[in-house]
Amino acid sequence: MEDNMEAITSSGVSTALRCIVKLGGAAITCKNEIEKINEESLSCVASQLRDAMMPAETSSGKILGMDWSRRNGLNSECFDNFDDLGNASVSDGFPFIVVHGAGSFGHFQASKSGVHKGGLHLPLVKAGFVATRISVTSLNLEIVRALAQEGIPSIGMPPFACGWSTCERNIACASNSQVAKAIASGFVPVLHGDAVFDSSLGCTILSGDVIIRHLAEQFKPNFVVFLTDVLGVYDRPPSDPKAVLLREIAVDKDGKWSIEKPVLNHSNNQVEFTVAAHDTTGGMVTKISEAALIAKLGIDVYIVKAGTEHSLKALKGQVNGEIPDDWIGTAIRSAKRS
């Protein structure tokens, strides 16, 4: 942890980032229904995040909800319960950053207008840029609310507003100072895939996965967790009866990866081919490649199904080091550790 980029708090104490969590779009939204949140899954994810970030508060049973909204039943009486908290001081939880995907938010607006291809001078692209941002920021607000209801001091930080921009789809400008300040003050920044300006294309879509890689490089968290809607990464589509869950993937310093567990009958090359075929439907090679870019920094990545005992263990850091035999998910780690 010596080489972690540390956020300096106002009191001069440095805070190392514990974890970056990706809430996969498929895990928190209903994929096939436009702009529909999977409330049950999101609520479970928020509850697990609270357990992982603030074990002390959770064990004491007191939760100070932070979404004081009319929709959430706000009235003057709510506040009477808070009066005894006025001068209490609680310790900050573990520092986390949350990044979420879009799922059924934003995707439709972006693909219909071609925002990812640029061309802001075209009215359809400009309108699509606005429509995409409305959709993804509305999802961001819902996620911030869900976390706040669990007592997590979450702060929405839409990348466009934060000044993130790209050049030929690669990050050109990413203001980390506001994210660092938020962490140092004990908040949990909540970022997301967003429509941004691109200096060559005019505009494009900056994905949550690219954001995570950038944040991981800058803040060097102890570990990264991807919460998805499947148990982990398989060697072929999970719907295939022969599909095998990959348990451990080792990544060398060049970013090349190989499957360590389980030992498969076919060779690595064959697996890669099989996984590549899978990619057209499930994006698993992309997922492994993105994760490998993080793992080669020496940061362990866990891909695990949201809302399970396995995701809770991963979020709590209980699978760092030796992976328990009963843990189900995919660990992607730098080769030197395995």
Nearer to its own copies, 47 or 165 (CB): 165
Spatial separation of the C-alpha atoms in residues 181 and 265, rounded to whole Å: 49
Query: Mapped to the 3 state alphabet, what secondary structure does 85-119 carry?
Result: HCCCCCCCCCCEEEEECCCCCCHHHHHHHCHHHCC
Nearer to its own copies, 123 or 241 (CB): 123
- In the complex, the smallest distance separating the C-beta of residue 20 from its own copies, rounded to whole angstroms, is 18
Tell me which residue has tokens 């994210």: 179
Nearer to its own copies, 14 or 268 (CB): 14
200: how many CB neighbours lie within 10 A of its CB?
Answer: 12
Sequence-distant contacts of 271-276: CB under 8 A, at least 24 apart: 271/235, 274/235, 274/236, 275/235, 275/236
Q: Answer yes or no: is 329 a known binding residue.
A: no
Nearer to its own copies, 171 or 335 (CB): 171
Query: Mapped to the 3 state alphabet, what secondary structure does 123-187 carry?
Result: HHHHHHHHHHHHHHHHHHHHHHHHHHHCCCCEEECCCCCCCCEEECCEEEECCCHHHHHHHHCCC
- In the complex, the smallest distance separating the C-beta of residue 85 from its own copies, rounded to whole angstroms, is 5
- From residue 151, alpha-carbon distances to 26, 90, 187 in Å are 24, 12, 11
- In the complex, the smallest distance separating the C-beta of residue 21 from its own copies, rounded to whole angstroms, is 18
- In the complex, the smallest distance separating the C-beta of residue 97 from its own copies, rounded to whole angstroms, is 14
Spatial separation of the C-alpha atoms in residues 62 and 42, rounded to whole Å: 21
121: how many CB neighbours lie within 10 A of its CB?
Answer: 8
- In the complex, the smallest distance separating the C-beta of residue 73 from its own copies, rounded to whole angstroms, is 11
Q: Answer yes or no: is 103 a known binding residue.
A: yes
Nearer to its own copies, 33 or 240 (CB): 33
Nearer to its own copies, 153 or 317 (CB): 153
Nearer to its own copies, 156 or 329 (CB): 156
DSSP 321: S
SS3 content of the chain, % helix, strand, coil (to 5): 40, 20, 40
- In the complex, the smallest distance separating the C-beta of residue 106 from its own copies, rounded to whole angstroms, is 10
Footprint of its own copies (CB under 8 A): 10, 34-36, 64-71, 74-75, 79, 82, 85-90, 108-109, 112-113, 120-124, 126-131, 133-135, 137-138, 141, 144-145, 148, 151, 153-158, 160-163, 165, 175, 177-178, 181, 185-187, 197, 202-203
Q: Answer yes or no: is 287 a known binding residue.
A: yes
| Residues in Cβ contact with 42 at an 8 Å cutoff, skipping those fewer than 6 apart | 23, 28, 142, 143, 146
Spatial separation of the C-alpha atoms in residues 128 and 110, rounded to whole Å: 6
- In the complex, the smallest distance separating the C-beta of residue 163 from its own copies, rounded to whole angstroms, is 5
Q: Are 140 and 100 in contact (CB under 8 A)?
A: yes
Spatial separation of the C-alpha atoms in residues 25 and 37, rounded to whole Å: 9
Q: Answer yes or no: is 277 a known binding residue.
A: no
- In the complex, the smallest distance separating the C-beta of residue 219 from its own copies, rounded to whole angstroms, is 17
Nearer to its own copies, 186 or 298 (CB): 186
Q: Are 314 and 302 in contact (CB under 8 A)?
A: yes
Q: Answer yes or no: is 107 a known binding residue.
A: yes
Positions at the binding site: 102-103, 107, 208, 229, 283, 287
Which residues are annotated binding-site positions for substrate? Answer: 102, 107, 208
In the annotated binding site for ATP, the residues are 103, 229, 283, 287
